[in-house]
Structure 1
């Protein structure tokens, strides 16, 4: 009987690497490495907690993202602080220009008529040319040039009277904080503190992500611009969302929005929440309402819901009743929506407060996510 000689194909079953050329062996190694990467990525995606930050403009989304960066160990380096410094200078110049313009439109007299020239100086500020090289930010030498006029204007009683009527026009919440600290901002070696950075206001354009881990669980937080022109981008981020944090600035209930000068900010937040809480895509997604306040304010006791907007005229209860504020957002949901709408009250610039609240939010998200994985 002739000796049996197995074919190459048969041998390759039992000794897959023996009969390969060096080129084929290298291809096989690369293929296996790719398979490992794919499996790793699949495991990562399955474990990934993707949190979408939504809300109207100036609701505190970017501030919340800054807090996550501070809390989870990635502090701001020298370059980041210099960028925020330029943003703060921009906030101050924009804020004082808004106040000068509001003083005139509200027919408020100057405290000191000689400050008209400082007002003219600020209104002549060319935002496009002065900020062009800083990508919408003001450089230190530019700020130093305008600082004497800003200082004189903020000390004027007419500008202070305009500020007291800020609910009648759009003004950033942190403008007063920075104007009260002009001496610090004017120092040649000024770099923003952590609180300064948290209060710096730069409108979010496009989509920003921040990745971090908590006890080996990967988190991806996605911040989308809240201005009306940016909201079309919200739906681009809906894929594989684990949870939505919908942020509302509850301290801005007596102010108008930037996108529509006659639109109440709280009313706009309430309206923009409707398509989110009723979207079928999110039927199994945790939706958590964050009612943020930058700092406690006396004005809370001066208003009732009926003063905010016709939308809230159903109740004459004080705005300081937080349960009623949550109820206004719950009413935006259709009756068939059974999943609970979680809520938390926070102070946006208080890092320790945000740390404690996010710990509870994380537990809620992970608990709900685990239930969904078990049902799959």
Structure 2
């Protein structure tokens, strides 16, 4: 009995050792990236880009699921513009006033198919000079940045044969709640990207995903300097990003973690600089209100000498909806992580 029990125990131990070895080998090949940033910074757009670049794009079911969401975005964007116009108390063209009022009264976002007449209404109100004026003043309201893209494409989006393309999906923002994780292989490594919600009520969940992260990608919507928070209309979004960034770097888990800072939405940033002055957000900014000087100033606000004490911080200026740009940047990011930071992890 003793000999038999001993053999059984040895067999069990060998099984455990084999399992541990397999786990070790798997972990040696796995790189976990954590995406952090405040709400609407563009984190989830990067996740979509990774799916396009490294997972052969979106499944048919996924594409189909975006169809009603995008149609809802078109209708809801126009509703927000009409409501903002009412606050400004500017008049639409006489023929559009009743049409706009009726649009608000009969608004039904879940009515995903619309008649030709209803489509004409959307296009007619969107082309009204008063609504275009609201769009120019959009930084003063909680109007999504990509509303013009969807309203300009309303005819195609409400066509019976419509199927969302990659650009439609990249422009469609759905606030992340909970945790989203995607896996893809590049070379011999399995990359795991973890995206967590950026809204205030989601951030308390972040701490559960800090341990075991090989690199942190922190995303900032650089056009945030002209906007207020969804959760608190008295707080500037860029100030909120700085506060979250500062507290993230102070976290003990990230003392030696490679960090890549993504200054996202450079295309919208350039547009915002035409409408707004960076000095309204940062009174200590006294440079020219152009991309070169404004972006340099913001970069210095985020990358301070005190932050570089324990780690290197790499940065990129990017446009999350530009697949080619994101692909090139992420190739650099992967090379940075593997060549400069993770040699001790992967032997």
Task: Return the TM-score normalized by structure 1.
Answer: 0.83
1:21: which partner in 2? none
* Pair 1:335–1:32, CA change in 2 (3 A): closer
Distance 1:202 1:281 in 2: 29
CA separation of 1:108 and 1:11: change in aligned 2, threshold 3 A: closer
* Aligned residue among 269, 287, 299 for 1:326: 299
Give 1:211 shift: 0.5
CA distance change for structure 1 residues 115 and 36 in 2, over 3 Å: closer, same or farther? farther
Shift in Å, 1:161: 1.4
Q: 1:241 maps to what in 2?
A: 213
- What's the offset of the Cα at 1:337? 3.1
Q: 1 CA distance for matches of 2:105 and 2:175?
A: 22
Residues 278 and 334 of structure 1 are in contact (CA less than 8 Å); yes or no, is this contact kept in structure 2? no
Larger radius of gyration: 1
Deviation string 1:74-122 (CA, Å, 9 cap, x unpaired) is 3112211111112211211221111111000111111235433333333
1:215 to 174, 177, 187: 187
1:313 is aligned to 2:275 = no
1:347 aligns with 2:294: no
Distance (Å, rounded) in 2 between the aligned partners of 1:154 and 1:75: 32
Q: Does 1:58 align with 2:57?
A: no
- The one of 197, 215, 240 aligned to 1:225: 197
* Cα distance in structure 2, aligned partners of 1:231 and 1:319: 33
- Whether 2:90 is the aligned partner of 1:108: answer yes
- Counterpart-to-counterpart distance in 1, 2:216 and 2:201: 20
The residue that corresponds to 1:195 in the other structure is 167
The reply on whether 1:161 has 2:143 as its aligned counterpart is no
Equivalent-residue separation in structure 1 for 2:203 and 2:290 (angstroms): 27
- Per the alignment, residue 58 of structure 2 pairs with 76
Indicate the RMSD between aligned Cα atoms, in angstroms.
2.7
Instruction: Report the alpha carbon displacement of residue 241 of structure 1 after superposing the two structures with TM.
Output: 0.7
Q: Does the C-alpha gap of structure 1 residues 112 and 270 become closer, same or farther in structure 2, counting only changes over 3 Å?
A: farther
| TM-superposition CA deviations, 1:289-310 (whole Å, max 9, x none) | 1011163544424544312x2x
Unaligned runs of 5+ in 2: none
Per-residue CA distance 1:296-347 (angstroms, 9 max, x = gap): 544424544312x2xx22221235222221111124x746833122100111
- Structure 1: gaps spanning 5 or more residues: 1-7, 17-23, 131-138
Residue 4 of structure 1 aligns with which residue? none
2:225 is matched with: 253
Whole-Å separation in 2 of the counterparts to 1:149 and 1:68: 37
Contact 1:60 1:247 in 2 (8 A): yes
Aligned counterparts of 1:29 and 1:126: Cα–Cα separation in 2? 65
Q: What SS does the corresponding residue of 1:347 show, helix, strand or coil?
A: coil
Distance of 2:324 and 2:144 partners within structure 1:
24
Which residue, out of 280, 295, 300, partners 2:273?
A: 300
Match of 1:87 in 2: 69
1:125 aligns to 2:107 (yes or no): yes
* Aligned counterparts of 1:229 and 1:145: Cα–Cα separation in 2: 41
Inter-partner Cα distance in structure 2 for 1:244 and 1:262: 29
Find 1:285's aligned residue among 246, 257, 261.
Answer: 257
What secondary structure sits across from 2:284 in the alignment?
Answer: coil
Q: 1:224 to 1:118 in 2, by over 3 A?
A: same
Deviation at 1:144, TM superposition (A): 7.3
Deviation at 1:37, TM superposition (A): 3.1
Give the Cα–Cα distance (whole angstroms) in 2 for the partners of residues 192 and 346 of structure 1: 24
Distance in 1 separating the partners of 2:226 and 2:125 = 25
Deviation at 1:64, TM superposition (A): 0.3
Q: 1:367 to 1:149 in 2, by over 3 A?
A: same
Please state how far the C-alpha of 1:47 moved relative to its aligned partner.
3.2
Q: Using the TM superposition, give the Cα deviation of residue 160 of structure 1 relative to its aligned residue in structure 2, in angstroms.
A: 1.3
Q: Is the CA contact 2:41–2:221 (under 8 Å) kept in the aligned structure 1?
A: yes
Q: CA deviation at 1:253?
A: 2.5
The verdict on how the C-alpha distance between 1:216 and 1:146 changes in structure 2, with shifts beyond 3 A counting, is farther
